Amino acid sequence: MRRRMVIIFLAPAVLLYLFFVLAPAAASFYLSLFQTSGFGETPRWVGFGNYIKLFSDPVFWLSITNMALILTVGGVAIFGLAFLFTILINSGIWGKKLFRALIFMPNVIAVVALSTFWSFIYMPRYGMLSNIFKYIGFDQAAAISWTAPENIIWSMLIGLVWISTGFFTILILAGADKIPTDMYEAARIEGAGPVQMFRMITVPMIWDVIAITMVLWVIEAIKMMEFPFAFGGPTPVQSLLTPSIYLFIMGFGFRQPVYELGYATAIGVCMFLFTVVAVLILTWATRRDRVEF
Amino acid sequence: MLRSSRSIFSSMLAGCALAVMAPQAQASELVFWSMWNEPEPQAVALRAIMDAYTAAHPETTFSAVWNGRANQTKLRSALQAGTKVDLMDQDGDQLIGGLQKQGLALQLDGLVKADFGASLLPGVFDIYASEGKHYQVPYVYNSVNFWYNKEILEEAGAQEPATFDELLAMCDAVRKLDKYALVVDNDDTYALYYFSYLLERKLGVNALVTTFEDKTGESWLKPEVLKAAQMAQSLWGRCIPDDARGFQYPAGQQTVALGDSMGNLNGSWLPAELSSSAGEDFPWGAFNFPSVEGGKGKQTDLQVALLSMIALESSEHKEEAVDFLEFLVSEEAQKIIVEQGSVGSTRAGVAWPAILEEAYQAATNATAISNIYGGVGINYPDFYTTILAPEQNKMFMGQTEAKAFVEAMAADTKKYWEAK
């Protein structure tokens, strides 16, 4: 009886998940085995042809390199800053809520507005950065073209770290807020400083929260599209391509009539596989005995 | 008597029914999906044209869907879902590689008047034809010219250049004012204007396409191609400021509005795009890309980006749709496009807005027209998007040498055709 009830209660959710998630995912994989423009012509079966073509496509590998850069360099910077903000905010400074709100603020602003804001910062000649350097007499630094093709990925990455840090800081702070305060008081009496308390108390006690935030970042980084795309203008330079942007260009006729829907779907399937593999590795690497408190 | 009354009554009833049904059978609502957003002046102009058509043909009404620039992509999904659409518009080059290539556009030959193309500006009706078959009716004319501030040119004491050497001399004159004559934005497409035009001036119209269509890749190694790449690079520091490498669209073109740069090689949409920052009284001038020494291309050859409307092959109102397409480029409709849309007309004899006067003269006197960015993107959009445009941008921005660029293009072109 109990088993039957479980099935009855689970059925709607399972059916919805099957219909709206698993079935489209399976259909996408099937579509990636065809060459089609998506305009209604009969798709041509190519088997794993799209994947073979993809693995010898230098532009795809460039987008993967950019993705890896965002994932690793961006990830280290974001989590480094998130930990730093957690230490500072939990150190008993005045205006904790205000600082928390300020750090989170970029997350409530439209990505296009943020990308415009960062473009103004970097703009040669008239931009904020250029003018600050000119003002303090660093003329050589003022002359740097931060958004020139060879620099633009790094400039974008700085903006991305600034935007993303707040979200992950809030998650880590929320976990840290649940740690009993007597632990910190005891540590303080023993003479521990903020960094020691963070390393010896906060991190072990919220390790599961940190692991989940890292998983969220991995997913976010692999499907990254909005900010680099908006930052790159109407036709982003190739050095800003991520797999998502490349998928969009190849499948949706962006400016040029490239309508390779099967190929674009193969990119999407690869992104899905990357996500699964990366999450599994991360879950394995961050496994620890759970601390109960 | 009764039978005869009944039959008279029946006949009257049938007559009334026919009278009611007849106009209903002829009435049709044309469904139009548009690349414009509803508040844009071009959309307002199209709405006025549709209203004018309905006033002349009360049986035909329109249902418009204002999709914006991704119109063709949105239509792709809608057509798959069985949505009935009669008319749509988009950039002509995008239509060739999209609906036209897929056989979803209605072929117009035999449906429009035999001399239909003659009423349009030179080359307009034929530019998007595939194997001599016409599918599109271009209704907005955009040309690629140098758009510049006349006051700065006058202050520099220079003239509009007719040759590349004169262009460099003009740049030197403007540099004396502590300004640069030209500016660019650093994305992949805008940067291609220079190289593609230089190649067409060297080797003639559509030179970029013909160079690419040599499946051996050897055409890239012609001295003229290398020279065109070197000439494009030579503009930096002399005509174009070095810091423009960092100008993200539209930062570069905004420097023209601010008076820091004199001009920009761009589409004839530039004055409209910059109107809010440059002001209504900005002294716009325009001139064609200059000729080059010993080149086959003429200074009067023009790169264009026309906007077209098509009727869908699946339309259930083909006759009405084609009739509307003809009306769209009539003198009456094109005057509405010019006045309300503030854009160039494709019809011969319909003057463009005053601000585009020089572009109108260039279009009227064009000895040949070719597609924007050299046209490779039309039939080979994958190569254009993933290889040509990014590699050319690297060359133009100085990340690779001109020689390395042409050699890479030769190798990539050969590889592309071998894989086909």
- What is the tens place of the pLDDT at every residue in B361-406? 999 999 999 999 999 998 899 999 999 999 999 999 999 999 999 9
Q: Is B393 on the interface with A (CB under 8 A)?
A: yes
State whether residue A133 is helix, strand or coil: helix
Instruction: Tell me the domain boundaries of chain B.
Output: 10-142+305-361, 144-303+380-419
Among chain B residues, the shortest Cα distance to A151 is held by B246
Q: Is B70 on the interface with A (CB under 8 A)?
A: yes
Q: How far is the C-alpha of B68 from the C-alpha of B74, rounded, in Å? A: 10
CB pairs under 8 A between A and B: 129
Give the nearest partner residue to B385 out of A41, A151, A258, using CB atoms: A258
| Bridge partners (DSSP) listed for residue B148 | B263, B285
B72·A253 Cβ contact <8 A: yes
Query: Which amino acid is present at B18?
Result: L
What pLDDT digit, counting tens, does each position of B39-86 carry? 999 999 999 999 999 999 999 999 999 999 999 999 999 998 999 999
Q: How far is the C-alpha of A193 from the C-alpha of A196, rounded, in Å? A: 5
Q: How far is the C-alpha of A207 from the C-alpha of B394, rounded, in Å? A: 45
Give the nearest partner residue to A145 out of B101, B246, B399, using CB atoms: B246
Task: Band the pLDDT of B189: cuts 50, 70, 90.
Answer: confident
Q: How far is the C-alpha of B331 from the C-alpha of A203, rounded, in Å? A: 75
A238·B247 Cβ contact <8 A: no
Task: Report the candidate in B240, B320, B246, B253 with the shortest Cα–Cα distance to residue B30.
Answer: B320
CA distances from A250 to A254, A290, B383 (A): 8, 45, 11
Average pLDDT over residues A23-36: 96
Q: Which of chain B's residues have a Cβ under 8 Å away from the Cβ of A145?
A: 242-243, 245-246
* pLDDT given at position A234: 81
Q: Which of chain B's residues have a Cβ under 8 Å away from the Cβ of A150?
A: 399
Average pLDDT over residues B108-120: 94
Q: What domains, with CATH codes, occur in chain A?
A: 49-285 (1.10.3720.10)
Average pLDDT over residues B79-99: 95
Give yes or no on whether B10-142+305-361 and B144-303+380-419 have one common fold. yes
The more confident residue out of A290 and A240 is: A240
Percentage of residues in chain B with pLDDT exceeding 90? 90
Cα A45 to chain centroid, rounded:
34
Q: Which residue has the tokens 């439209």?
A: A110
Interface of A with B (CB under 8 A): 37-41, 57, 59, 119, 122-126, 143, 145-151, 231-238, 249-250, 252-253, 255-260
Nearest-CA distance A257 → chain B (Å): 5
Q: Is B307 on the interface with A (CB under 8 A)?
A: no
Average pLDDT of the residues of chain B: 93
Is the pLDDT assigned to residue A26 strictly greater than 90? yes
Percentage of residues in chain A with pLDDT exceeding 90? 85
Average pLDDT over residues B99-119: 95
| Bridge partners (DSSP) listed for residue A207 | none
Task: Report the candidate in B375, B372, B345 with the shortest Cα–Cα distance to residue B360.
Answer: B345
Backbone angles phi, psi at B376, to 5 degrees: -65, -30
Nearest-CA distance B390 → chain A (Å): 6
Confidence (pTM): 0.90
Q: How far is the C-alpha of A48 from the C-alpha of B126, rounded, in Å? A: 40
Q: How far is the C-alpha of A199 from the C-alpha of A193, rounded, in Å? A: 10
Q: How far is the C-alpha of B326 from the C-alpha of B222, rounded, in Å? A: 44
What pLDDT digit, counting tens, does each position of B127-178 carry? 999 999 999 999 999 999 999 999 999 999 999 999 999 999 999 999 999 9
CATH code of the domain made up of B10-142+305-361: 3.40.190.10
**What's the CA angle centered on B347, arms B344 and B349, to 5 degrees?**
95
**What's the CA angle centered on B322, arms B320 and B326, to 5 degrees?**
115
What pLDDT digit, counting tens, does each position of A254-276 carry? 778 999 999 999 999 999 999 99
Query: Which amino acid is present at B340?
Result: Q
A95: phi > 0 → left, psi -120 to 50 → alpha, else beta; which? left
Average pLDDT over residues A73-100: 91
Q: Which of chain A's residues have a Cβ under 8 Å away from the Cβ of B251?
A: 119, 123-124, 126
CA distances from B278 to B212, B266, B355, B417 (A): 39, 16, 13, 46
Cα B142 to chain centroid, rounded:
5
Q: Where are the alpha helices (DSSP H) in B239-356?
A: 251-257, 270-273, 275-278, 318-328, 331-341
- Give me B30's structure tokens: 């044309």
* pLDDT given at position A94: 86
Q: Is B23 on the interface with A (CB under 8 A)?
A: no
Is the pLDDT assigned to residue A226 strictly greater than 80? yes
Backbone angles phi, psi at B212, to 5 degrees: -70, -35
| Bridge partners (DSSP) listed for residue B89 | B309
The more confident residue out of B15 and A24 is: A24
Is the pLDDT assigned to residue A65 strictly greater than 50? yes
What's the CA dihedral at B83, B88, B92, B96 to 10 degrees? 30
ipTM confidence: 0.88
Percentage of residues in chain B with pLDDT exceeding 70? 94
What pLDDT digit, counting tens, does each position of B313-340 carry? 999 999 999 999 999 999 999 999 999 9
Task: Band the pLDDT of A253: cuts 50, 70, 90.
Answer: confident
Instruction: Mark which residues 246-285 of B lie under 8 Å from A by CB.
Output: 246-251, 255, 260
Sign of the torsion formed by the C-alpha atoms of B318, B308, B37 and A255: positive
* pLDDT given at position B158: 97
Q: Is B386 on the interface with A (CB under 8 A)?
A: yes
* pLDDT given at position B13: 47
Q: Which of chain B's residues have a Cβ under 8 Å away from the Cβ of A258?
A: 97, 381-382, 385
Q: Which CATH architecture has domain B144-303+380-419?
A: 3-Layer(aba) Sandwich (3.40)
Task: Report the candidate in B126, B68, B118, B128 with the shortest Cα–Cα distance to residue B98.
Answer: B128
Is the pLDDT assigned to residue A291 strictly greater than 80? no
